[in-house]
Structure 1
Amino acid sequence: MNHVLCGLAANAALPPELVDQLVEVADAEIAADLARRTDLSHAQAVALASRVEESAAWLAYEGHLTIADIDPAAQPHAALALLCEGVGSPRWARLFAADPVFERREKLAACSSLPSDVVRTLAADADVRVVAELALWTTPGVAARLAGHPHAEVRRAAAANQATPPSLLAALLTGEGLPLALRCRVCDREETPFVHDPHCPHNDCDLLPGDSCDGSHESTLHATRRMALQNPATPTEAVIRFVNHPSVLLRWALASRSDLPSEVYGQLAMDPDPGVRADLAENPAIDEALMRALSADRGHDVQRRLAHNPRVPLDVLTRLARTTKIGTILLPRIAAASCGEVAELAESPEPAARLLVAQRRDLPTAIRDALATDPDAKVVNSIASHPGLSEAQLRAMVARHGVHVIAMVAANPDATPALLEDLTRHEQPPKKMFRAVARHRNATGPALQNCLADKQARPLAANHPALPPHVIAELLTYTDWQVAEAAAANPSLPFAVMSALVPQL
């Protein structure tokens, strides 16, 4: 792969004449970057698709190609892309429905608005993978017919389709009202009884660890039930029967549903598996009493997930913040807090509460400025990237808390060029500070050159338009391909250098 040419192909400042030249020499990797250009002309798109067929699909998805530009026999990927977008020709759909390459028929089966005769052809396809793909995406009427398909893999796909009628989803879940499946993907290829070895030595085997069939297609049946339990269209009265099922995966699938009775949520809160309880804790459908009960649950990840519940009571969240590693993110409950709640949190004697609200980026000026002078370094670190802070305020943060806040100060959108330069010359700067400066729109050439000393910041700095042109040119020969590619994509790369990089035919 020529990483420099790939970077050049993605360069937003590349002139049209050089785009033309790159199209003429493009391989699959260069074409992938060219195809993503927003300024690609129709003529360039047609030429690129003719040269590199793999790029045609992306060009079609992006709207650069039309039906008139595509020959489905020569450019099947592009033709299928347009069919999936609903703008392909019905003639193409009939052509691909009979295509000997099953992957193309499978791709076609995922398309919407297909002619009815094409749907019938796909539903009768000899390859069950094609039929299963159709069952996953098709309309209610076709999904209803495929829910009783003799192959269990097709039924599994129908169980995941939200268009499948609720009564049939219930039947797929419970097994009531449908004839037994005759085959599954396990017994299609192995004599039963068979259990797939988790350490299978065959690289081309697509069976999952533990897939099994003793004649009842049990692993596919289990997967079908799991799909139906996760499907929001499956009736509540059918899914609640599985609250005490021996399979933890099936109980787990229930924990995120929003339509269960409170007593069922209560049963799930006592599930022996902490994963079930953790998913339940984040479910906004549970009531306040259950949230308060789960706040005392020390199971793995239960309290952290409860903190992410958008309806968790504020006092519970504050209490969790003292003892739980929540992470430095804006929690949904804090994002939805009222003006009064925001003021209450900001004035709390608990640093954990102030830390929560400091993640908001729409704070009133008075609250923002008060938190900017907070005695707790974690609170200041959280507020440091808040827009609207002055250079003096940001410098005061660094003076008080040093390396504890410097990276977030560098990420502040209003950090001035002079401040960013000074931060890169700090006595003990953390490495993530260099990455923040290298991404910053206000970074200067000197600041970016200082960032080049850090391995992870180097590609970011190499792509920054404020980097001096002669430095960008030097980085084109850098041994790290990521740096060289980033430099080639830099819009400040001089035209003469760009032109010299493009191979001449």
Structure 2
Amino acid sequence: MQTPPRLPVPVHLDEVLNALARNARLPVPLLRRLLQHGGAREEAARWRSDLTEQVALEIDTLGNGKASHAPACNPDLPVGMKRRLARSDDAAVRSALAGRDAPLPRDLVEAFVADPSAQVRQAAAANRRSPSDLRARLATDPDPAVRAELAQWWTDAPEEVRRERAHEENRKWPGSPADNAVFPPETMRRFATDPDPRMRALALRDPELPAELVERLAQDDEARVRREAAAHPNLPAPAGLLLLGDADMRTAQAVAGSPHLPREAMEAILAVAEL
């Protein structure tokens, strides 16, 4: 068996473990070890799209039912676990299930639109995947917040529902120039030596950026540049391992969550955390 590489002790170990739990390439045996960490267990429950009924049940059991809200927020949760959570006494858990934009069994949708909690009915009103005939029942809901939610999200609703639509528009936030810029790859590569850190970070949007440039940018003084380098597919493995100990939390998270992180590095992270 190959010995895991030696890692620097991550400054933000908990956040690194949480990011590793979201890593889609994490093998199931390593995921099961990681579930012993409470924060990572909640992240896995909330974000992983590959949870089986068995693993989902393990997560719920390990959390003694206290982490039930996290899996309820996962639209890809197995149907059996969704049914289990739908019986929860916690309206926040039921509303999290009801409001995911994911298909639900018809009997669960029926239960949610008739739920005694307005919070749950409001969440059901926002689910764009629910059958139209069931959503229509909420058009006459006694709670005005439920009717307003339905009108906002049911864009092809009948006219009587659309009349209830809220008129407040979503606030639009402009991005930075670097985020909105579109350049050919050969131009982006020239930004690797730009004095502006925003532009150096933009160079890393080129998926074909040579490994030597990625490695150089992984040592940049600016955290935003190192953060972009951390998730780049051409980042050499040794440079990525060093970034796991980066003082910038989001940089360390970007490495741990990268689909390019070698299994040996995943093993090493769990070893550092004694999991």
* TM-score where L is the length of structure 1: 0.38
Residue 109, structure 1, aligned to residue 121, structure 2: yes
Matching residue of 1:4? 16
- 1:287-306 equivalences under 5 Å are none
Matching residue of 1:58? 73
Matching residue of 2:210? 444
Structure 1 residue 491, shift from structure 2 partner: 2.7
Distance 2:146 2:68 in 1: 31
The residue type paired with residue 50 of structure 2 is: D
Distance 1:78 1:466 in 2: 41
Q: Which moved more, 1:431-440 or 1:75-84?
A: 75-84
Matching residue of 1:458? 226
Matching residue of 2:201? 435
- 1:336-375 equivalences under 5 Å are none
Q: CA-to-partner distance for each residue in 1:213-257, whole Å, 9 max, x for gaps?
A: xxxxxxxxxxxxxxxxxx8537xxxxxxxxxxxxxxxxxx69x9x
Structure 1 residue 18, shift from structure 2 partner: 0.9
Q: For the Cα contact (< 8 Å) 1:448–1:461, is it kept in 2?
A: yes
Matching residue of 1:38? 49
Matching residue of 1:233? 163
Residue 72, structure 1, aligned to residue 87, structure 2: yes
Distance 2:114 2:136 in 1: 20
Residue 487, structure 1, aligned to residue 264, structure 2: no
Matching residue of 1:473? 241
SS at match of 1:466: coil
Structure 1 residue 39, shift from structure 2 partner: 3.0
Q: For the Cα contact (< 8 Å) 1:96–1:108, is it kept in 2?
A: yes
Residue 26, structure 1, aligned to residue 37, structure 2: yes
Distance 1:42 1:435 in 2: 40
SS at match of 1:5: helix
Residue 415, structure 1, aligned to residue 185, structure 2: yes
Q: CA-to-partner distance for each residue in 1:267-293, whole Å, 9 max, x for gaps?
A: xxxxxxxxxxxxxxxxxxxxxxxxxxx
Structure 1 residue 465, shift from structure 2 partner: 2.1
Higher relative contact order (CA 8 A, sep 6+): 2
Structure 1 residue 448, shift from structure 2 partner: 1.7
Identity percentage over the alignment?
19
Structure 1 residue 42, shift from structure 2 partner: 3.2
SS at match of 1:39: coil
**What value does the CA root-mean-square deviation take over the aligned residues?**
4.2
Distance 1:68 1:494 in 2: 36
Q: For the Cα contact (< 8 Å) 2:22–2:48, is it kept in 1?
A: yes
Q: For the Cα contact (< 8 Å) 1:72–1:78, is it kept in 2?
A: no
Report the count of equivalent residues: 228
Cα pair distance change 1:160/1:19, threshold 3 Å = closer
Distance 2:98 2:147 in 1: 22
Q: Which moved more, 1:9-18 or 1:458-467?
A: 9-18
Distance 2:138 2:48 in 1: 35
Structure 1 residue 45, shift from structure 2 partner: 2.3
Structure 1 residue 449, shift from structure 2 partner: 2.6
SS at match of 1:490: coil
Matching residue of 1:302? none
Q: CA-to-partner distance for each residue in 1:392-423, whole Å, 9 max, x for gaps?
A: xxxxxxxxxxxxxxx79x953x525xx65554
SS at match of 2:224: coil
Q: For the Cα contact (< 8 Å) 1:112–1:138, is it kept in 2?
A: no
Distance 2:261 2:212 in 1: 17
SS at match of 2:60: helix
The residue type paired with residue 248 of structure 2 is: D
Q: For the Cα contact (< 8 Å) 1:437–1:447, is it kept in 2?
A: no
Distance 2:23 2:190 in 1: 30
Distance 1:159 1:54 in 2: 25
Cα pair distance change 1:12/1:440, threshold 3 Å = farther
Q: CA-to-partner distance for each residue in 1:423-477, whole Å, 9 max, x for gaps?
A: 423xx54322212122221122222233231332211111112111001111111
Distance 1:165 1:78 in 2: 32
Q: For the Cα contact (< 8 Å) 1:463–1:487, is it kept in 2?
A: yes
Q: For the Cα contact (< 8 Å) 1:421–1:443, is it kept in 2?
A: yes
Distance 2:16 2:121 in 1: 39
The residue type paired with residue 16 of structure 1 is: V
Q: For the Cα contact (< 8 Å) 2:115–2:121, is it kept in 1?
A: no
- 1:494-505 equivalences under 5 Å are 494-502=262-270, 503-504=273-274
The residue type paired with residue 3 of structure 1 is: E
Cα pair distance change 1:491/1:157, threshold 3 Å = closer
Cα pair distance change 1:469/1:411, threshold 3 Å = farther
Distance 1:47 1:476 in 2: 28
Show structure 2 runs of 5+ residues with no match.
Answer: 1-11, 126-134, 152-156
Q: For the Cα contact (< 8 Å) 2:86–2:97, is it kept in 1?
A: no
Q: For the Cα contact (< 8 Å) 2:25–2:259, is it kept in 1?
A: yes
